[in-house]
Structure 1
Amino acid sequence: MISQRLAGLAPLTRRPLPLLRNRVYRLWRGGAVLDRFQGQPDPADRNVPEEWVGSTTVSRLPGRPPDEGLSKVGLPDGSNIVLKDLIEAFPQAMLSEAHAARLGPDLGVLCKLLDSAMRLPVQCHPDAAFARRHLGSNFGKTEAWLILATRSIDGVPPHMLFGFREGVTEAEFRRIVRAQDIPAQIAALNRVEVEPGDLYLVSAGTPHALGPGIFMIEIQEPTDLVVNTEYVFCGVQRTESQCYLGLGFDLGMSCFNYHAAGEAYLSRHRLIPRTLRDDPAGLEERLIGPEHTPCFGMDRLTVRGRVSDRDRGRCYIGIVTEGEGRLTGAACDLPLHAGGTFFAPAASEHVAFEAAAGRPLRLVKCFPPNLEAIRIP
């Protein structure tokens, strides 16, 4: 039984929904580039370096508000509603009948804008099978990174740590983690310099750490499950329980894929966009498809004039990365601008994207799991 207020919001499911700002606290610092991207005054690196976009997931950081991380939708009267509440009230209209039948009122994906000013800790994430067996979650945390911009910080070029170096063994990595030899942990991973446009799939179990100077879109399974191997980070001492999801050292360390190693593994997980259509009105590219992962999808659309939205009938999260324009239809007209985000319900009656004169409009669409391939009990 939904509330009277929610029942009155049913018409919202027939139009694209603007998302309000949703910065999330982290121990590490960043966010100056994200501030500029969002048009914020006085951009600076602080402890709110992530924007969770279209999020129905709460942050797991201890001591934070219980609803931190949940996205809100701006309403015409100036008020707002939690996106998760709208989805739970109208799952078929918001997500599609097929999605609701398969996953229930669960969006099944989380997107972030993330801006690092320092190295993040060495970590990995459990896969869905491990999460179901040990953590009571249908989702693990496979993710992907689309680099939007980079900067050098204190002379350090933007880079990431990704996968084990060739020859690193499970026994050796466990030993250096036990010893809390942080330089050795870093040296055990491949160091990869990155630039705007790079796209990497970070499969669950892959050891990784984002370096400083990277602004990116992260798409992931909708959890905040992390195995951390650095017990002290940003001056904060973490317990073994906090580092290993309450599972203990041995089981927590089994989350790592010790075969995720070498240049060949890295090469397989660097993705190349594929053109879906290219004409005077616009360019549409497939960034992440079902051939890469069933966990989520991602497309990029560059609008030069007016482009019909071929994804009507599917729900998705939209992130505008460049330009200005509109998303239009008979009963909707949503202004779009760089730094803006929105949620497109499956039942939305919008028709097309239109770019403002003089400059292309570019946006990234983030899609929920592939319903035919994802494994949900």
Structure 2
Amino acid sequence: MNPLLLPPRPVQHFYLGGHRLAALRGIEPETDHQPEEWIGSTVARFGSDGAGLAATEDGTLLRDLVRADRGAWVGARGGRDAGDVGILTKLIDAGQRLPVHVHPDRGFAASHLDCPYGKTEAWYVLETEGECAVHVGWSRSVDRDELDRRRDAQDGEWMLAHMNRVVVRPGMGVLVPAGTVHAFDGGIFLAEVQEPTDFSILLEWSVTTSTREESHLDLGFDAVMPAVSTEELDADALAALISTAGSTPAEAAFRSLLPAAADPYFRLFDAAGETAPREAGFAVVLVTEGGGALVSEVGRVEIERGQAYAVPYAFGAWRLTGDAEVLVAAPGAGWPRTLRAGGVR
């Protein structure tokens, strides 16, 4: 079974953006609110039956293909359901600052949302404009009652003033553990890898087209706010969430782009040129530059800049040839054995 070409399917969202994403993927944006593409996704947007799902040229959903032949696609039993591939990969092209928000962890998701996955995520910066920054974690602990008041008043400036601000550059990777408050500036184009859910708690909805009623996972703020950490993320803890491995050019080897703490949840690599084989397993491949081929004993697929592929387990161990540069996203180490309600074990 060869890798499956994934045609562009940008997602309409509550914030502005999408022009750089469209340029990479070779399409014209239909609106100014298509800042995301969910590449290789078998997960739909929260509250939606189909938005965000990856599909083939003829409209067949990747989720249905995985369900029909799970062994060929992921090579393992387990997971949330028959369509689970263990990872969600996105392109995000922010045309405005994203709102301050938080994602729940696995324990909260298991007890409140009937899901073994939370939403730990990581960003890999592709392009920036000027001194763009991400905002991750509280720079000092905040009072929970005060946070509730600031949320109700939609005081985003107060929230940002109490958060860690990190100026980012292309090639930087940032891990955002579940429960950690975060936002990032407009002008950042990034690839995101995350647990395969769409669980978001918006503390700041007024800068988007979303509403208060759409900001608490249909559970109410009293129920979801315990999922939001109010503790300080100090300088050492923040530094441990950042990798600069991608700040030097990609090489003819698959190089990890994220901090080691991301490995139980998901992995992200880059490579360029002629590589040694990497192990068989489900992966999402995005071609960021040049052209070449994905090659295994099963077959050969020609690739070029802007294309994206879902690589099945049945393709076997594969390597990159030619002068292409790629990003490769894969499930966490040991998945799906490591998937347990309440956390990674």
TM-score (norm. length: structure 2): 0.89
Q: Equivalent residue of 2:224, what SS? A: helix
How far the C-alpha of 1:114 sits from its partner, in A, is: 0.5
**Displaced runs of 4+ in structure 1, greater than 4 A?**
none
Aligned residues: 337
Aligned partner of 1:127 among 83, 105, 114: 105
Does the 8 A contact of 2:79 with 2:85 survive in 1? no
User: Residue type of the partner of 1:205?
Assistant: G
User: Residue type of the partner of 1:244?
Assistant: H
Paired position in structure 2 for 1:70: 53
CA deviation digits over 1:242-263, x for unaligned, max 9? Answer: 2211222222211112225232
User: Residue type of the partner of 2:207?
Assistant: F
Paired position in structure 1 for 2:43: 57
> Where do residues 196-215 of structure 1 align in structure 2 (5 Å cutoff)?
196-215=170-189
1:48 and 2:27 aligned: no
Q: 1:166 to 1:66 in 2, by over 3 A?
A: same
Paired position in structure 2 for 1:364: 327
User: Residue type of the partner of 1:257?
Assistant: S
Paired position in structure 2 for 1:96: 75
- Bigger relative contact order (CA 8 A; separation at least 6): 2
Paired position in structure 2 for 1:170: 144
Give distance in 2, aligned partners of 1:231 and 1:104.
31
Give distance in 2, aligned partners of 1:373 and 1:163.
26
Q: Equivalent residue of 2:237, what SS? A: helix
Give distance in 1, aligned partners of 2:5 and 2:317.
13
1:136 and 2:114 aligned: yes
How far the C-alpha of 1:27 sits from its partner, in A, is: 1.4
Q: 1:101 to 1:181 in 2, by over 3 A?
A: closer
> Where do residues 1-377 of structure 1 align in structure 2 (5 Å cutoff)?
14-41=1-28, 46-60=32-46, 66-74=49-57, 79-97=58-76, 100-101=77-78, 103-105=80-82, 106-152=84-130, 157-234=131-208, 236=209, 238-239=211-212, 241-273=213-245, 282-288=252-258, 291-303=261-273, 306-312=274-280, 314-329=281-296, 332-349=299-316, 351-355=318-322, 360-370=323-333, 371=335, 372-376=337-341
Q: 1:309 to 1:45 in 2, by over 3 A?
A: farther
Q: Equivalent residue of 2:107, what SS? A: helix
Q: 1:375 to 1:125 in 2, by over 3 A?
A: same
User: Residue type of the partner of 2:139?
Assistant: R
User: Residue type of the partner of 2:110?
Assistant: R
Q: 1:95 to 1:213 in 2, by over 3 A?
A: same
User: Residue type of the partner of 2:125?
Assistant: I
Q: 1:291 to 1:194 in 2, by over 3 A?
A: closer
Q: Which runs of 5 or more residues in structure 2 are unaligned?
A: none
How far the C-alpha of 1:84 sits from its partner, in A, is: 0.4
Give distance in 2, aligned partners of 1:95 and 1:34.
28
Give distance in 2, aligned partners of 1:284 and 1:329.
16
User: Residue type of the partner of 1:320?
Assistant: V
Give distance in 2, aligned partners of 1:210 and 1:369.
25
Q: Which runs of 5 or more residues in structure 1 are unaligned?
A: 1-13
User: Residue type of the partner of 1:322?
Assistant: E
Q: Equivalent residue of 2:92, what SS? A: strand
Does the 8 A contact of 1:320 with 1:364 survive in 2? yes
Give distance in 1, aligned partners of 2:221 and 2:59.
43
Does the 8 A contact of 1:150 with 1:214 survive in 2? yes
Q: CA RMSD in A?
A: 2.5
Q: 1:310 to 1:182 in 2, by over 3 A?
A: closer
How far the C-alpha of 1:80 sits from its partner, in A, is: 4.3
Of all paired residues, the percent bearing the same amino acid is 30
Give distance in 1, aligned partners of 2:78 and 2:146.
46
Q: Equivalent residue of 1:160, what SS? A: strand
